[in-house]
Structure formats: C-alpha cells, structure tokens
Structure 1
Amino acid sequence: MIYGAMKVSLGGSLKLAFRPWVEGIENVPAEGPAILASNHLSFSDSFFLPAVLDRKVTFIAKAEYFTSPGVKGKLTAAFFKGVGQLPVDRSGARGAGEAAVKSALKVLERGELFGIYPEGTRSPDGRLYRGKPGGLARVALLSGAPVIPVAMIDTEKIQPPGKVVPKLMRPGIRIGAPLDFTRYLGMENDRFIHRSVTDQVMYEIMKLSGQEYVDIYATAAKRQIAETQKAASEKAAAEKAAAGEKAAAKKTPH
C-alpha cells in the first residue's frame, strides 16, 4: 500500500520533471523473480529505475537510513520503506554480506524483482568499476533467477556532489537481455564461478552504458582519489606557508 502510493507520487513526479528515456524495457519479465544488476552513478538511480517499471523493485540500503533519531529520521525511514528499500546493517563486512544475500533471496522467493549494484558503491568519476562477486553471484546462483543487466545514463549529471538543487535533464536507462546462470547451480560457493558470473554481468553493463571500464574496485578508486586530493591540499598549504614566510622575511629589516 505504502509502496504503491509512493510509486505513484514519486514515480509520476520524476517522469514528469525529468522525462527519462528507456530502452529494452521488454526485457523485464511481467512476473516472476529476476535480478536487476545496474551500474551506479547517482543516489537517484534507485528512484529512476523503479519509476519507469510497472513492477516493484527492492534494493538494499544501509540501516542508518532507517534508524536515525528525531522527526527527520522517521520521515527518512518512512520514505525508504515506501520506495522499496530494505535495511541492512553494514557494521560488519561478512555479516552485512550474509544479511544482504538472505534479504535478496526472500525478495526473489516472493517472485519479485531485486535490484543490486555490483560495484558496491557509486562510481567516483563516471567510469565503470570492477564488480564485487560475493553478493550478485551468490544471489543469482542460490536463487536461479535470471540476471538482467541495466545501464543508468547521465544520472550523475543531474545532481553532482555538492549540488543541492538538481539539474533538469533527461537521464536514460538501457535494459539488456536476461542472463541465465542456472548452469552453475550447486556451485554457489566456488569463488572462481563468482568471479566469472560477475565479470560477465559487468561486461554486459559496459556494453549498454558505453562507460570506460576500470579493473579495480570503486572503493579502492575512492581511496586513491581521496589520498591524491589530500596530498594536493597539503602541498598547496605548504607552498602557501613557504610563500608567507618568504614575504615576511623580505619585510623584516636586517
């Protein structure tokens, strides 16, 4: 009930304001379980994709969105529940992974759509990064559900980091043909199969999105970017301090 009302209000508003274009929507089955595996460019990805589909899509969200105190926290929790997000405690990496897999399997057992971002986090620069094998592959192999590759296009341009007011522009969504991994059933604990399944899905996403592929994890890329920015900031501060000392020395009489 809440999801339906939220989808009508939010989904209708998004489609009216941004007019997202969609290709391959016929690849999403009208019924039955399926996994939508998408690239991740923006916070809004989890809203635009469900907005263009007739069926409910459930994503995993960090538990903090559902447990924050106060009126704002309650409103945030109600919003995320309303748009079909499931809370997962990410305080422990292994526990969080198992909780996410179990939550995904419950969604698929109900014959619903489950959405997942194989990169594990948003792309820091618009490029496509290596998929993490533990979640997507295990869910696909344990459930037997088809994996549908999805490419979000230009969603990162709507609200870049640091921008409060979104830019009105048309994002795109390309949906690829379903991938069948049932040939690997019973091999859900084989990490080499995990890697193979994940890489195949990421390759299809790359073809759909046209993104440059980077064979490292996005989390590692974010650390590298942060370290580079920190080093540049420290260098600039040191140069400024040196320039200040030099100017002061010139003013000081000898």
Structure 2
Amino acid sequence: MDDINFECTACGKCCHDLRLPLTLAEATAWLARGGQMELLCEAIPWPVEPEADNEQAAYKKARSAATMSGSLPVRVSVLLVAAFAGACPNLGSDMRCRIYEERPLVCRIYPAEINPFVALAPESKACPPDAWQHTPLQRHGVLVDETTRELIGESRRTSELEAALRVQLCLALGLNEAALANEGFVIYAPDSDALRAALQQVRATPANETLAAATPWTFVSNRAVTVETLLSVGAAGRLNEPTADAHFRYHGYFPAEPA
C-alpha cells in the first residue's frame, strides 16, 4: 500500500509487552529510571564479501561487527532492548507517556519502519483500525513528515556507529554466543548494575572493530541440522540445552527438531 493515513488514538496498545530497541545512551537512561534491559544477539556467516550492488547485504554489514566463529568469518549483530511485560513503565494511567520529551527514537518514529527493506503495513501494527483513517502518513510510498524521515536517518546512523560498541558491550559482560540470523536470538538479561557499569565502560571507549573481533563467538541453535552445518564449515556451535541460568535463554523462530 503506497498511501497510508495515521493519527494516534492514544489507545496505548503500542506501549505494552514490548522489546524496544535502544541506543547506548537511551539504554543508560532507561536503566537509570529502573527499567530492565536485554541483549539480543545473532550472527551471520560472512565467508566472502557480497557483491557491491547487494543493498541488503550492505545494510546488514553496516549494522554488525566482523569477528570469527571457529575458523569461519561471521558478523555479529546485537540489539539492546528495553523489555517489559504489560504496560511500559513510563506509560501513565491516562495512556500518556511520562517521558514524552525524552522518549526513545523508536517511539518517536512509530508507526513508520526503520528498516528500508520492511514495508509499512498497518495490519502488522498494534493500532486499532480507526487510527488509519485520516491524517496523511505516507504518500506514494514516501513518508510525509520530514521530522520522522530525519529521525529514521538518525536511528540508522546510530546503529551503524554503535555496531562494534554493542559487541564490545557483550564481551565486557562475558557474553559471546549468538543465534544464527533469521533462525532466532540468544537473549541475555544481565544484572542491571553489571550492565550499567559495562555501558559506562563501553561508552567511554571509541568503537573498535579490532577489539570487537578479539573474542570468537559460538552459535547456539535448537536444531541439530543447523549446528551440524555450521560445524561442517568451521564454525563453533552447540545445541541449546535447558539451563537454570535466568540471565540466558534461546529464542528460536522454529520448533526444535525431534530427538
């Protein structure tokens, strides 16, 4: 759909049961307000550089950091997300945001999409049907609001600038396992104090691809065929196993294969 209207109805549905991707600065502020954070880690095998005109590959490369898994070159991508069940801790009973002027970029951009390869689709959003009736949001596939376009550009640039720093953040926390991209995520929920200290350390350090690549990564999967394939091409991998560690879990998009 090229022409889309949108006007917020203040229903609050978009502020419930979320994982909000945050910048490093936003994550620091979120923790200072007492919020909870998670790190979502995925990796993609990168044995050779793709063709120069492969725009999707270029987009993925810019938002990930080069490292190794075994003898296989890979790129690791880390999302730093504010995680909450139910209402956002910053949502008031009147369905208004209590930190509206300092709300995260992703909230400012919603319901527009940040990823240029994901089409804006009202049916994929939490907003009710009457939110999509009036004010122009997109015309001929182009967002009408210049401010939203600028915020999307800012979000994309920040993701590029922070890609190596987010991997360095994981390493500072002793984390170096990731899911295979498009198959799932390894999710870490570190202690807030430890994460706050690691964020302070990383934010004081320039992004360094060499430092980010210093520690090899291991793939985790709930599918034996995935692990076997990765091992066959030189990667390090293991099957996900039940664990009592409350800070670690594997979230797969596909069910585990039968034993």
Report the TM range for the smaller structure's normalisation. under 0.3
Select the structure with the greater relative contact order (CA < 8 A; seq sep ≥ 6): 2
TM-score under structure 2 normalisation? 0.27
- Report the structure, 1 or 2, having the larger strand content: 2
- Report the structure, 1 or 2, having the larger helix content: 1
